[in-house]
């Protein structure tokens, strides 16, 4: 499968007993290592008010990483547009591109819940899912509803702190249109006034849309002829509808003449299955902290994770994520990634790996890359 590129998605996780500074140093090291291992791109997610995640500003971490690497593409997975303007996004990435031209991926995501009028129900897909499996056996679990997260005090406080008082987000599709116009250099306001983002205009930036369903994000990516990233690691239940929705909406553009999809996966690889399962022990407890609206905790050790008294409600809360994490030897995980690629038709795969120990995380990416290149 070496013809299918592998990329990296990094949340800049903080391990229990560690610090944000150490997490950032680990991120720089991992970017350098994965560049050497042959990974195609290195993306940073954006998260706020999470005690165990230091990746609050993709652009800032990108600037640091760009200076420490030379060939790997670097980008956002994703910049959350709900609390920023089109101009701020273009100018931030334009600054980085000015010194590191031709290496940036500007991944754009919505934030703040669904747009008005969009429902949470499943969208039609041509791929039958029977007993929780796609035709090739890929696990497609029941849908997870995030409504309790969107209405939680922590989420509401986050929205309050990220927005200027009284400010409301621009329509996502319109905002993406403005970003593309600013990058091209042909932006005009409603009254015809020109605006030129310098730096930013003419930047050699690949624009991506990230989405977890076949809704607005997939439609915006398709109609603009942009690259699309579907999140199996965040919402495995909706990955098929996301990829299909994007392809159905796709229109050729100056960016692409045919659809291009990447799909993300949570992965832990070790020399054998037993060791990998041990390294992944903390994942369920970490996901639980996110799903309870507590905010991602510092990633626990296996011992800390085993000390948690799990309830049936806890297990149900994280089951879709835990059951779709790919954990095991290089051969086992590569087989599962091939299955994911086949089911979604992905043009590339984005790998996110979190372990308590940084060396184990680096080793996981190394073992996977070596196995992938052998296929």
pLDDT the model gives residue 150: 81
How confident is residue 149, by pLDDT bands cut at 50, 70 and 90?
confident
Mean pLDDT of 83-101: 96
pLDDT the model gives residue 327: 98
Asked, for residue 1, whether it belongs to a domain, the answer is: no
Residue 30: CA count within 13 A, CB half-sphere: 33
Mean pLDDT of 33-51: 97
Query: Would you list the DSSP string of 37-56?
Result: HT-SEEEE----S-TTB---
Residue 78, preceding peptide bond in cis (omega within 30° of 0): yes
Q: Is residue 187 pLDDT above 90, yes or no?
A: yes
Residues 365, 279: contact at Cβ < 8 Å? no
Q: Is residue 113 pLDDT above 90, yes or no?
A: no
Taking alpha carbons only, the member of 217, 211, 219, 224 closest to residue 183 is 224
Instruction: In whole angstroms, give the CA distance from residue 229 to residue 203.
Output: 21
Range of the domain at 69: 6-114+123-164+171-374
Per-residue pLDDT of 264-294, as tens digits, reads: 999 999 999 999 999 999 999 999 999 999 9
Mean pLDDT of 295-323: 96
Instruction: In whole angstroms, give the CA distance from residue 106 to residue 209.
Output: 8
Asked, for residue 11, whether it belongs to a domain, the answer is: yes
Instruction: In whole angstroms, give the CA distance from residue 218 to residue 226.
Output: 10
How confident is residue 124, by pLDDT bands cut at 50, 70 and 90?
low
Residues 29, 42: contact at Cβ < 8 Å? no
Residues 57, 88: contact at Cβ < 8 Å? no
How confident is residue 123, by pLDDT bands cut at 50, 70 and 90?
low
Q: Is residue 115 pLDDT above 50, yes or no?
A: no
Q: Is residue 122 pLDDT above 70, yes or no?
A: no
As a whole number of angstroms, the longest Cα–Cα distance in the chain is: 64
Residues 216, 123: contact at Cβ < 8 Å? no
Number of structural domains (the chain) is 1
pLDDT the model gives residue 1: 60
Which residue is it, tokens 């849309």?
209
Q: Is residue 110 helix, strand or coil?
A: coil
Which residue is it, tokens 């990058």?
183
Per-residue pLDDT of 194-222, as tens digits, reads: 999 999 999 999 999 999 999 999 999 99
Long-range CB pairs of 357-364, under 8 A, 24+ apart, other chains included: 357/15, 357/279, 358/15, 358/26, 358/29, 358/30, 360/270, 360/279, 361/26, 361/30, 362/29, 362/30, 362/33, 363/269, 363/270, 364/267, 364/268, 364/269, 364/270, 364/276, 364/279
Helix segments in 14-143, DSSP class H: 20-37, 58-68, 86-99
Asked, for residue 260, whether it belongs to a domain, the answer is: yes
Tokens of 93: 């990435």
Please state, rounded to an integer, the average pLDDT across all residues of the chain. Answer: 94
Which CATH number do you get for residue 148? 3.20.20.30
Instruction: In whole angstroms, give the CA distance from residue 353 to residue 58.
Output: 18
Task: Spell out where the chain has E strands.
Answer: 6-10, 41-44, 73-76, 79-80, 104-109, 205-211, 227-231, 261-269, 326-328, 348-352
Asked, for residue 312, whether it belongs to a domain, the answer is: yes
Higher pLDDT, 126 or 328: 328
pLDDT the model gives residue 199: 96
In eight-state DSSP terms, residue 122 is P
pLDDT the model gives residue 169: 86
Mean pLDDT of 53-57: 96
Q: Is residue 20 pLDDT above 80, yes or no?
A: yes
Taking only Cα atoms into account, the Rg of the chain, rounded to an integer number of angstroms, comes to 20
């Amino acid at each position: 499968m070496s013809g299918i590129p592998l990329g990296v998605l990094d949340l800049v996780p903080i391990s229990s007993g560690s610090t944000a500074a150490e997490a950032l140093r680990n991120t720089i090291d991992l970017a350098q290592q994965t560049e050497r291992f042959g990974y195609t791109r290195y993306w940073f997610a954006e998260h706020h008010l999470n005690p165990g995640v230091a990746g609050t500003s993709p652009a800032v971490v990108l600037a640091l990483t760009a200076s420490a690497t030379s060939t790997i593409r670097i980008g956002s997975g994703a910049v959350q547009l709900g609390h920023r303007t089109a101009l701020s996004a273009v100018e931030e990435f334009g600054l980085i591109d000015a010194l590191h031209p031709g290496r940036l991926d500007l991944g754009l995501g919505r934030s703040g819940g669904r747009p008005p009028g969009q429902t949470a129900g499943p969208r039609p897909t041509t791929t039958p899912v029977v007993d929780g499996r796609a035709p090739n056996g890929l696990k497609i679990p029941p849908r997870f509803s995030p409504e309790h997260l969107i209405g939680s005090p922590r989420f509401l406080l986050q929205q309050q702190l990220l927005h200027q008082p009284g400010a409301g987000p621009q329509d996502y599709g319109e905002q993406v249109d403005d970003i593309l116009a600013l990058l091209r250099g042909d932006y005009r306001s409603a009254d015809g006034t020109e605006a030129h983002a310098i730096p930013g205009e003419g930047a050699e930036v690949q624009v991506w849309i990230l989405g977890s369903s076949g809704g607005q994000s997939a439609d915006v990516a398709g109609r603009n002829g942009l690259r699309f990233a579907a999140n199996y690691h965040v919402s495995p239940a909706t990955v098929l509808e996301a990829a299909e929705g994007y392809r159905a909406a796709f229109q050729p553009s100056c960016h692409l003449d045919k659809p291009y999809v990447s799909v993300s996966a949570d992965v832990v690889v070790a020399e054998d299955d037993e060791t990998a399962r041990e390294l992944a022990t903390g994942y369920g407890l970490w996901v639980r902290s996110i799903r309870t609206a507590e905010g991602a905790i510092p990633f626990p050790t296996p011992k800390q994770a085993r000390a948690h008294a799990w309830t049936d409600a806890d297990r149900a809360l994280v089951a879709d994520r835990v059951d779709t994490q790919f954990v095991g030897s290089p051969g086992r995980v590569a087989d599962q990634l091939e299955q994911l690629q086949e089911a979604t038709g992905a043009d590339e795969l984005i790998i996110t790996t979190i372990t308590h120990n940084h060396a184990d995380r680096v080793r996981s990416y190394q073992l996977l890359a070596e196995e992938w290149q052998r296929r």
